[in-house]
Amino acid sequence: MKFPISLVQKHFNSPLGPIILVASDQALVGAWFDDQEHLPIEIQGRSAWHNAPEHPVLRHASRQFKEYFDGQRKVFELPLDLSYGTAFQQAVWQVLLKIPLGHTCCYADVASAIAKPKAMRAVGAAVGRNPLSIIVPCHRVIGADGSLTGYAGGLERKTYLLQLEGGQNPQETLL
C-alpha cells in the first residue's frame, strides 16, 4: 500500500504499546502498532507524515481507543477510509467489520463471505495487511481449529484483545 504524504498522524499510548493513528482531512486511514509487521513504508524508520495531535479525526480516534481499552466502548464510530488497499483486500476488510465484538471466525469463513472459498491464503495475507488494527477487527480471525494464528501486532496482543472482548469460538459466529 502506498499512502499520500498529505496524511497526518498522532501517537496513542495503549496498554499494548504505542499505536500510530493516521488520518486524511475527513477519515481515519491507519492505526498500526509501532512495531507490527507490514507497516507502510511511510512510517518505517522516520515517518513522512506531519504530527497533528489536535486533528479532529485523530482526537476522536484517540478518545475512542481509550474508551475501548477502558472497557467503555464496544463499537468504534469513526469515518474510515480503506481505499488504499486492493479491491480484494477491501472486500476482506469489509467482512472483518461485520465480525461482532466477542466473536471470532476463521479464514475459511471470511473467504466464503467474499465468495472465494478457496482463497484462504490470500485472505490471510489481506487480513495481515489491515491498515486499521483493532477498529477493523482482524484479531477476531483465528484458525479453523480455534488456534490463534497470525496477527501483525503479535499473538500476545491478539490474545489480550480477544480476552478484553470476551472472545468466543468460531462456530459461534455468523458472518
152 shares its domain with 94: yes
Q: How far apart are CA 7 and CA 43, in angstroms?
A: 11
104 shares its domain with 157: yes
94 shares its domain with 168: yes
CA triple 158-39-42, angle to 5 deg: 155
Structural domain count of the chain: 2
Q: How far apart are CA 117 and CA 158, in angstroms?
A: 25
Residues 9-48 pLDDT 10s? 999 999 999 999 999 999 999 999 988 887 777 676 567 7
166 shares its domain with 119: yes
Residues 79-136 pLDDT 10s? 999 999 999 999 999 999 999 998 999 999 999 999 999 999 999 999 999 999 999 9
Residues 147-161 pLDDT 10s? 888 888 889 999 999
Give a yes or no: residue 140 inside a domain: yes
Instruction: Say what the pLDDT of residue 149 is.
Output: 87
Distances in Å between the alpha carbon of 148 and those of 58, 115, 158?
30, 24, 8
Q: How far apart are CA 116 and CA 147, in angstroms?
A: 22
Q: What is the pTM of this model?
A: 0.90
Name the grid cell of 126.
Answer: 489481506
Give a yes or no: residue 3 inside a domain: no
Q: Which residues are catalytic?
A: 138
49 shares its domain with 102: no
Is residue 32 within 8 Å of residue 150, measured between CB atoms? Answer: no
Instruction: Say what the pLDDT of residue 121 is.
Output: 93
54 shares its domain with 102: no
Q: How far apart are CA 141 and CA 146, in angstroms?
A: 9
146 shares its domain with 117: yes
Domain residues for the domain of 121 are 87-172
- What is the number of residues in the chain? 175
Q: How far apart are CA 171 and CA 54, in angstroms?
A: 42
Q: Read off the CATH number of the domain in which 93 is found.
A: 1.10.10.10
94 shares its domain with 128: yes
Q: Read off the CATH number of the domain in which 39 is found.
A: 3.30.160
Residue that the C-alpha cell 489480550 belongs to: 160
92 shares its domain with 156: yes
Give a yes or no: residue 1 inside a domain: no
